[in-house]
């Protein structure tokens, strides 16, 4: 269950979330209706056989937003509409206008939806009450906002906002490659993305490369700035941090997971609980590093 991406939102550390668990059942996932394109709601983090809609360890909360989406490809709808339009035009000897075509399309969708396949969706999220942030396991801002929206729907109000850095993320990331001191415990990885700040300027993506070598230095000398940078934190986690402060390619390294492998557990539930405890402890440290390095403003 280790997260692979982190899209952060901040909320006030004074926010009272003690009643969250009691409101989640009202927003639990319901099966998508026959004429609905999608359904969204909370599901049990520990899987369909579990009942609890959140899991808490100390001041850390694990939520899972589930969904069901009907797969109705536009090409299939277009083909069915074309067949019906052709049949009507041949039978009546006239060309159908836009309004008539739109009505036929709506009828086709209503007819096809109940027979469309349903795709299950799952997005995990982690709330840290100590530092006042929610991290959603996705690199898509839209998908993350959907999860935050579900929390807001459950609570009635949830003042969560994207991180607001007081320093330029591009400037900080570029400085780290150029030789500025890295945060304590942080080392450069072997991947970065550089962009020319000019509109439609050049973009350079580097992988498996020494980031403080001569080739990267030439890109910096030409004015390119770092927009994504691979980092390693205390040999426990590695990730790629973007200028939007989204964490991608999050990976837990041997330094973190060795302690899990050295302990036997009686059940899958106990294993997931141990993994969440480990992950939440590491993510606290990652967020604290990002918060300090980029001077994130608190949410009041």
Residue 22 lies in a domain: no
Residue 66 lies in a domain: no
- Give the percent of the chain with pLDDT over 90: 66
Residue 127 lies in a domain: no
User: pTM for this structure?
Assistant: 0.86
Tell whether the model's pLDDT for residue 279 goes beyond 80.
yes
Give residue 200's pLDDT: 78
Which of 97, 114, 131 is at the close of a domain? 114
Domain total for the chain? 2
Q: Does 109 share its domain with 174?
A: no
Q: Does 264 share its domain with 175?
A: yes
Per-residue confidence at 82, pLDDT binned at 50, 70, 90?
very high
Residue 19 lies in a domain: no
SS3 readout for the chain? CCCCCEEEEECCCCCCCCCHHHHHHHHECCCCCCCCCEEEEEECCCCCCCCCCEEEECCEEEEEEEEEEEECCHHHHHHHHHHHHHHHHHHHCCCCCHHHHHHHHHHHHHHHHHHCEEEEEEEEEEEECCCCEEEECCCCHHHHHHHHHHHHHHHCCCCCECCCECCCHHHHHHHHHHCCCCCCCEEEEEEEEEECCCCCCCEEEEECCCCCCHHHHHHHHCCCEEEEEEEEECCCEEEEEECCCCEEEEEECHHHHHHHHCCCCCCHHHHHHHHHHHHHHHHHHHHHHHHHHCCECCCC
Q: Does 102 share its domain with 181?
A: no
96 is in which domain, residue-wise? 74-114
Q: Does 109 share its domain with 183?
A: no
Give residue 213's pLDDT: 85
Q: Does 177 share its domain with 285?
A: yes
Tell whether the model's pLDDT for residue 262 goes beyond 70.
no
Residue range 91-103: mean pLDDT, rounded = 89
Residue 288 lies in a domain: yes
Q: Does 203 share its domain with 90?
A: no
Q: Does 197 share its domain with 90?
A: no
Per-residue confidence at 264, pLDDT binned at 50, 70, 90?
low
Tell whether the model's pLDDT for residue 67 goes beyond 70.
yes
Tell whether the model's pLDDT for residue 266 goes beyond 80.
no
Residue range 63-79: mean pLDDT, rounded = 92
Quote the radius of gyration of the chain (alpha carbons, Å): 24
Task: Report whether 140 contacts 247 (CB < 8 A).
Answer: no
Q: Does 188 share its domain with 271?
A: yes
Residue 281 lies in a domain: yes
Q: Does 93 share its domain with 179?
A: no
Q: Does 179 share its domain with 278?
A: yes
Nearest to 247 by CA among 140, 96, 117, 99: 140
Nearest to 239 by CA among 228, 250, 253, 254: 250
Residue 8 lies in a domain: no
Summarised one tens digit per residue, pLDDT across range 171-218 is 999 999 999 999 999 999 999 999 998 877 789 999 998 888 888 999
Residue 3 lies in a domain: no
Tell whether the model's pLDDT for residue 263 goes beyond 70.
no
Per-residue confidence at 265, pLDDT binned at 50, 70, 90?
low
Task: Report whether 287 contacts 281 (CB < 8 A).
Answer: no
Task: Report whether 169 contacts 245 (CB < 8 A).
Answer: yes
Q: Does 182 share its domain with 280?
A: yes
């Amino acid at each position: 269950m280790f997260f692979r991406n982190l899209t952060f939102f901040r909320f006030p550390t004074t926010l009272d979330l003690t009643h969250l668990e009691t409101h989640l059942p009202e927003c639990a996932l319901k099966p998508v209706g026959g004429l609905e394109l999608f359904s969204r709601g909370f599901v049990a983090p520990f899987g369909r056989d579990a009942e609890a809609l959140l899991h808490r360890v100390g001041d850390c909360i694990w939520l899972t937003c589930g969904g069901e989406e009907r797969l109705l490809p536009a090409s299939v709808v277009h083909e069915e509409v074309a067949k019906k339009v052709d049949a009507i035009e041949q039978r009546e000897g006239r060309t159908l206008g836009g309004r008539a075509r739109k009505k036929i399309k709506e009828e086709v969708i209503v007819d096809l939806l109940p027979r469309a396949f349903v795709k299950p969706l799952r997005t995990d999220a982690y709330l840290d009450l100590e530092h006042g942030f929610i991290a959603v396991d996705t690199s898509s801002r839209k998908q993350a906002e959907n999860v935050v929206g579900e929390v807001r729907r459950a609570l009635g109000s949830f003042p969560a906002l994207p991180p607001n850095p007081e320093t330029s993320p591009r400037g900080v990331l570029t400085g780290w490659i150029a030789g500025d001191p890295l945060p304590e415990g942080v080392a450069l990885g072997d991947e970065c993305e550089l962009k020319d700040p000019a509109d439609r300027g050049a973009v350079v993506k580097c992988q498996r490369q020494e980031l403080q070598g001569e080739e990267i230095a030439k890109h910096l000398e030409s004015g390119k700035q770092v927009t994504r940078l691979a980092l390693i934190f205390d040999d426990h986690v590695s990730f790629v941090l973007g200028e939007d402060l989204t964490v991608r390619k999050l990976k837990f390294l041997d330094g973190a997971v060795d302690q899990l492998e050295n302990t036997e557990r009686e059940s899958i539930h106990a294993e997931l609980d141990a993994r969440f405890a480990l992950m939440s402890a590491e993510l606290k440290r990652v967020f604290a590093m990002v918060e300090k390095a980029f001077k994130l403003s608190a949410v009041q």
